[in-house]
Amino acid sequence: MSGYQVRAAVAEMREAVRALLSLLEPEQVRELRAGPSRLDAPELREWTYLPGARPGLCTEGLGGDQREAVDVLLATAHSAPGADLARGAIEVERYRRTAVGAAGPDRYWVRLLGDPDGEGPWAWRLNGHHLAVHVLVTAAGIRVTPHFVGSEPARVPDGPQAGRRLLGPEEDLARELVTDLGAGRRAKAVFAATPPDDILTRADPFADPALLPGGLPYADMTTPQQQLLERLVRRYLDRAPAVYARECWNDAVRRGLDTLSFAWAGGLVPGDRHYYCVRAPDFLIEYDNTQDDGDHAHSVWRHLRHDWGTDLLRAHYAEQHH
């Protein structure tokens, strides 16, 4: 990443945090700042995409200006399409709550760790049902994984959002790829007729690619199929701010796209329960739409070196030690 682009992205995020802090009462600031002093504390790797309370400041009781400031902060961790996706997870969750008779304010938890105005690393995160965004910042860069977006329902049946498929592109690109495969290639890619009930890495603190099937290697695909896989991978990476998304993609290209592989389980027809994953040396992607008869989707992007900002923290603490 270029130094200028990193500084610009960090400055935007820092300003958004300052704006939020300026609107909060002292007790709200204490809730926002709950957490260990060291950003590599094991407890900070605990996360979930299920319903339930988390540490931090809950958005449920925020006023309009405060909630708007949270939205602005959330946008800084994403590209414009990525921000739309994150907001979409919140909007579909509102629909779900209304549909089950539990309408009310959004319940997500925001947490600030470290000092955004200091010289050291700092972090923030926003977590709730079907949305998990984890951000770590140092002078050397920004990290935004694990990154999870879910949608329940996968297709909104009625109301103002009728027909909305929040994760439609993630599903459609993968299905286009698997259905384009000939019989021999598809036999390698499809590892089970019945898909798993959820993503295989779940909410593990450390993503383990060994949990995922090997699938069909990129090198064994035709050029159009390889292009589909590239588009699918870019769909996930491009959730992030452009400067970081480019870094991740360029790393993948340098390592060789032949290291990518794609695997699928379940039916091939829209509406069938299904699952897929993409494996690479540095990252993995998982998607499932299996619960509620194939109307409840999950998607996650994990980076084996960058999750929780591990690489940046290691470099910072090594430099501090010396």
Look at phi and psi of residue 216 and say left if phi exceeds 0, alpha if psi is from -120 to 50, else beta.
beta
The answer on pLDDT for 141 being more than 70 is yes
The answer on pLDDT for 4 being more than 80 is yes
Number of residues assigned to the chain? 322
Q: How would residue 3 be classed by pLDDT, with cut points 50, 70 and 90?
A: confident
pLDDT, tens digit, 9 for 90 and up, residues 182-238: 999 999 999 999 999 999 999 999 999 999 999 999 999 999 999 999 999 999 999
DSSP state of 116: T
Q: Which of 214, 130, 220, 234 is nearest to 174 (CA)?
A: 234
The answer on pLDDT for 320 being more than 80 is no
The answer on pLDDT for 2 being more than 90 is no
pLDDT, tens digit, 9 for 90 and up, residues 38-73: 999 999 999 999 999 999 999 999 999 999 999 999
